Amino acid sequence: MGWVGQVGRAGRARSAARTSRQAPPPPPLRLLWITPLRALARDTLRQLREPVDALGLDWSLELRTGDTSSSRKARQLQRLPTVLVTTPESLTLLLSYRKTARQLRRLEGVVVDEWHELVGSKRGVQTELALARLRRWNPALRTWGVSATLGNLEEARDVLMGTGRQGRIVRGPRRPPPRIRTLLPTDPGRFPWAGHLGLALLDQVTEELDRPGTALVFTNTRSQAEVWHDALLQARPDWEGEVALHHGSLERKLRTEVEAALEAGELRAVVCTSSLDLGVDFPAVDRVLQVGSPRGTGRLLQRAGRSGHTPDGRSQLTGVPTHAFEIVEFAAAREAASRQQIEARPPVERPLDVLAQHLVTVALGSGFRAPELLAEVRTARAYRDLTGEEWGWTLDFVTRGGAALQAYPRYRRVVEEDGVFRVRDRSLARRHRMTVGTITDDAQLVVRYRKGARLGTVEESFLSRLRPGDTFLFAGRRLELLRIRDMTAQVRRARGRSAGSGRGRTAVPRWMGGRLPLSTELGGVVLELLQRWGEAPSIEAARGAGGEGSTGDDPDGEGPGPQGSDAHEQAAVAGLLEVQRRWSALPSPDTLLVEACTSREGHHLFLYPFLGRLVHEGLGALLAWRLSRAEPRSIQYSVNDYGLELVCADPLALDDPEHLLSTDALLDDLMACMNATELARRQFREIARVAGLVFPGYPGRSKSAGQVQVSSGLLFDVLERWDPANPLLSQARREVLDRELHVDRMRRGLDRLQTLPVVRTTPERFTPLAFPIWAERLHARVSSESWAQRVRKMALRLEKAAGDAP
């Protein structure tokens, strides 16, 4: 991140020299600043304005994001400011207006901020396509990217530059890694082995926050943020007004208020999610706390970087583990950070849904000729290997609806006139502009008070389970649901807000959205630490060094040196590791630990590859399937970030690990056992939305869209049956393999596991490592039963409101 400043300065100096010839009104558009987060855009604008004002430039600087008022947007379409700060989605939208497209041709420079946030996603691809367009208009366009440290920084640079362009990496002065310390339970013996809300350390967090200064308390999910915010205020009612909440589902106004208060130094703490992850630098923030697993080293560093820097230039982060093994994760993250072992974010390759959306966008804007646009699209690195066939299909898809519709004359989206492709239908144009982007949300309901103020949005699936009169926790308030109408949930404050008013339970919304898995890199370091800490002498030694609270500067720790030692963390989990070792064995990077035990449920087999939850899910299904194929039986599996469990009525053994862990026929086996169709069906949601097959409807007009609204699942079924060659279907399957199952990681993992000697133990009970997996209870089943047999065994899922049928 350090090189931001330098590049920024260079760019400004150059441009400043040119503006010496003054002329009102402000010069036309010269610089685009693209930022992934709206919250960041405001901050960026402010930071850019300072030097521009100081230099007395006559430049205009403006924002254009989803939050910008429509009157200002309309004005901008007539004339863009000299510097425009915008998001990838808003930039794409600009490309869809003819007039603006003309103004964009004068552009001289683009800065893509926080590129690491975009590069691994479809939003990154969308940015690539927009850049390709801008570069074709002005081949001399200069591009800067600003990125945090990444495992694949060179690749990230190449993606930004596009094919056939050279880029250079400028590194700023390296900042020392942040100080990472871990809050530890005073009685480690009673610290839970599993769980994820983790209020066990609430008292210590309260103590931390009682110190002077301002803190950001990061959580991993929005629900967890709501719960922690509430718990802090229950513990310290006198902090009302000093502890705020910030997450992506809150109304923009509420978020802005919190950001302003934070900046003004008025707050003691903000409990937040990734909504405050990115570069907004709040000088007022003195401390950063991370509740729950760090998940990945890069992510933890990013969060640590939000804190104001101490005189020696180091930021600080305090880890708040929610269960015992997360203590090891924090120590591992510290070690990985000191080794500069940061995760890579591989770019997305050739998504045809994004391309289809782009074709409609360009057709709407300046219009295009096919060969020219193909050449342009191929300069975007994601499409460098786009085949003529894939291009042909996509073009056909947006003009005639794809091969299956050839014969249907009424279909039109993009039309060809004299070799130029354009969009002629105004309602289609409007609909397309509403849906530009690659971020898919579930149906969201607006939460608002009866008197009108909006609080934010909650997923429909959550609210539909509540009945009027039920209370739920949202936006840091206990709310009573009054009624749901027209995509709006009307609420009022529940009575007895403070201290646990025993009026039944208060529900906490759970937002969908992937729980990030533990990164493979971090998992590897956790394994190393477990091995190192598990060596008997050091367990004893560590226990001696045990203490409460911080892991300050124990000098004799041989670990990460200047990072501060991990002796306290080691001591806190020593007892736990001892139990693990006594009952079974400790896992290590050089062995594959397999635990076999029995319970009332049957025979269990536990494995600990430490490859992250998603990889384990695929691995669980694969092993269950291969084992049941060898000998017909029904096997269930369950996973967490550390390992996986197989359960069967009959004894299980990894007798033939070479075969079971083989990568031969890996894809075929996975497709066969993972209910790959169902996964692909789910993945299709995003693809259908991006490609313009389904759309969420117009804001505030939920009904008008109804007649062409269809679920992506139904569409998937129809296409699978009647247009099975549709490339969007194969894209869905590919995305499932890459993004849901992380097949590459699985393959590398299997290759390694195969070479490891198996350490087989037979503990009498679930070990500390096994218990959390068993407790996760997300058992999936590999079975050969027929549909009817399965259904007969199922019970109706009785909703809360059963008996309340219409």
Q: How far apart are CB 409 and another protein at their closest, in Å?
A: 8
Beta strand pairing call for 488-493 and 477-485:
antiparallel
Stretch that binds another protein, among 446-454, 569-577, 603-611, 790-798 (CB under 8 A): 790-798
Q: Examine residue 693 and tell whether it contacts another protein (CB under 8 A).
A: yes
Q: How far apart are CB 193 and another protein at their closest, in Å?
A: 22
- One residue of 529, 694, 729, 746 binding another protein per CB under 8 A: 694
- One residue of 388, 514, 699, 803 binding another protein per CB under 8 A: 803
Q: Cβ closer to another protein: 534 or 692?
A: 692
Interface of this chain with another protein, residues 30 to 89, rule: CB under 8 A: none
CA 744 to chain centre: 19
Q: Examine residue 428 and tell whether it contacts another protein (CB under 8 A).
A: yes
Locate all alpha helices (DSSP H) within 86-148, ordered by sequence: 88-95, 98-104, 115-119, 122-137
Q: Cβ closer to another protein: 54 or 794?
A: 794
Which token pair is 189?
Answer: 């013996």
Are 304 and 315 contacting, i.e. CB atoms less than 8 angstroms apart? Answer: yes
Stretch that binds another protein, among 116-124, 256-264, 443-451, 687-695 (CB under 8 A): 687-695
Site residue total, another protein (CB under 8 A): 56
Q: How far apart are CB 787 and another protein at their closest, in Å?
A: 4
E strands, 315-385, where? 316-320
Burial class (CB in 10 A: 0-12, 13-18, 19+), 228: buried
Which token pair is 458?
Answer: 């909650």
Stretch that binds another protein, among 76-84, 119-127, 193-201, 718-726 (CB under 8 A): 718-726
Stretch that binds another protein, among 53-61, 217-225, 239-247, 397-405 (CB under 8 A): 397-405
Stretch that binds another protein, among 370-378, 405-413, 582-590, 613-621 (CB under 8 A): 405-413
Rounded-to-integer distance, Cα 60 and Cα 83, Å: 6
Stretch that binds another protein, among 89-97, 233-241, 569-577, 782-790 (CB under 8 A): 782-790
CB atoms inside a 10 Å sphere around CB 501: 13
Q: Cβ closer to another protein: 528 or 720?
A: 720
Q: Examine residue 802 and tell whether it contacts another protein (CB under 8 A).
A: yes
Q: Kindly state the helix (H) or strand (E) to which residue 110 belongs, with its residue range.
A: strand 109-112
Are 651 and 779 contacting, i.e. CB atoms less than 8 angstroms apart? Answer: no
Are 630 and 638 contacting, i.e. CB atoms less than 8 angstroms apart? Answer: no
Q: Cβ closer to another protein: 21 or 792?
A: 792
Total residue count of the chain as it appears in this document:
806
Q: Sign of dihedral through CA atoms 292, 298, 303, 309? A: positive
DSSP state letter for 737? I
Q: How far apart are CB 797 and another protein at their closest, in Å?
A: 4
Q: How far apart are CB 113 and another protein at their closest, in Å?
A: 35
Burial class (CB in 10 A: 0-12, 13-18, 19+), 689: buried
Q: How far apart are CB 388 and another protein at their closest, in Å?
A: 21
Q: Cβ closer to another protein: 225 or 624?
A: 624
Q: Cβ closer to another protein: 276 or 352?
A: 352
Owner of token pair 């000093």 = 242
Write a three-state SS string for 282-324: CCCEEEEEEECCCCCHHHHHHHHCCCCCCCCCCCEEEEECCCH
Q: Examine residue 697 and tell whether it contacts another protein (CB under 8 A).
A: no
| Residue 70, C-beta contacts closer than 8 angstroms, at least 6 positions apart | none
Rounded-to-integer distance, Cα 526 and Cα 570, Å: 12
Stretch that binds another protein, among 88-96, 584-592, 703-711, 733-741 (CB under 8 A): 703-711
Stretch that binds another protein, among 43-51, 70-78, 249-257, 791-799 (CB under 8 A): 791-799
CA distances from 223 to 230, 246, 336, 528 (A): 11, 11, 28, 32
Interface of this chain with another protein, residues 619 to 678, rule: CB under 8 A: 636
Q: Examine residue 692 and tell whether it contacts another protein (CB under 8 A).
A: yes
Q: Cβ closer to another protein: 601 or 751?
A: 601
Stretch that binds another protein, among 100-108, 148-156, 174-182, 792-800 (CB under 8 A): 792-800
Are 517 and 323 contacting, i.e. CB atoms less than 8 angstroms apart? Answer: no
- One residue of 390, 460, 723, 738 binding another protein per CB under 8 A: 723
Q: How far apart are CB 403 and another protein at their closest, in Å?
A: 9
Q: Examine residue 714 and tell whether it contacts another protein (CB under 8 A).
A: yes
Rounded-to-integer distance, Cα 113 and Cα 534, Å: 43
- One residue of 6, 598, 711, 762 binding another protein per CB under 8 A: 711
Rounded-to-integer distance, Cα 607 and Cα 358, Å: 45
Q: How far apart are CB 765 and another protein at their closest, in Å?
A: 22
CA atoms within 13 Å, Cβ hemisphere of 475: 25
Q: Examine residue 303 and tell whether it contacts another protein (CB under 8 A).
A: no
- One residue of 210, 372, 425, 548 binding another protein per CB under 8 A: 425
- The helix/strand/coil state of 433 is helix
Q: Kindly state the helix (H) or strand (E) to which residue 594 belongs, with its residue range.
A: strand 592-599
Q: How far apart are CB 406 and another protein at their closest, in Å?
A: 10
Q: Cβ closer to another protein: 80 or 639?
A: 639
- One residue of 197, 370, 374, 405 binding another protein per CB under 8 A: 405
Rounded-to-integer distance, Cα 638 and Cα 621, Å: 9
Stretch that binds another protein, among 53-61, 581-589, 612-620, 711-719 (CB under 8 A): 711-719
Q: Examine residue 780 and tell whether it contacts another protein (CB under 8 A).
A: yes
Stretch that binds another protein, among 29-37, 410-418, 506-514, 617-625 (CB under 8 A): 410-418
- One residue of 122, 135, 255, 413 binding another protein per CB under 8 A: 413
- One residue of 203, 441, 778, 784 binding another protein per CB under 8 A: 778
Residue type, 70: S
Vertex 287 angle, CA 527 and 113, to 5°: 80
Rounded-to-integer distance, Cα 474 and Cα 458, Å: 9
Q: Examine residue 791 and tell whether it contacts another protein (CB under 8 A).
A: yes
Q: Cβ closer to another protein: 108 or 717?
A: 717
CB atoms inside a 10 Å sphere around CB 392: 13
CB atoms inside a 10 Å sphere around CB 340: 12
Owner of token pair 């790959």 = 676
Q: Cβ closer to another protein: 187 or 799?
A: 799
Q: Which is nearest to 507 in space by CA: 455, 542, 461, 568?
A: 461
- One residue of 235, 374, 404, 753 binding another protein per CB under 8 A: 404
Residues at the contact surface with another protein, assessed by CB under 8 A: 397, 400-402, 404-405, 407-408, 410-413, 425, 428, 431, 636, 692-694, 707-708, 710-711, 714-715, 718-724, 777-781, 786-788, 790-799, 801-806
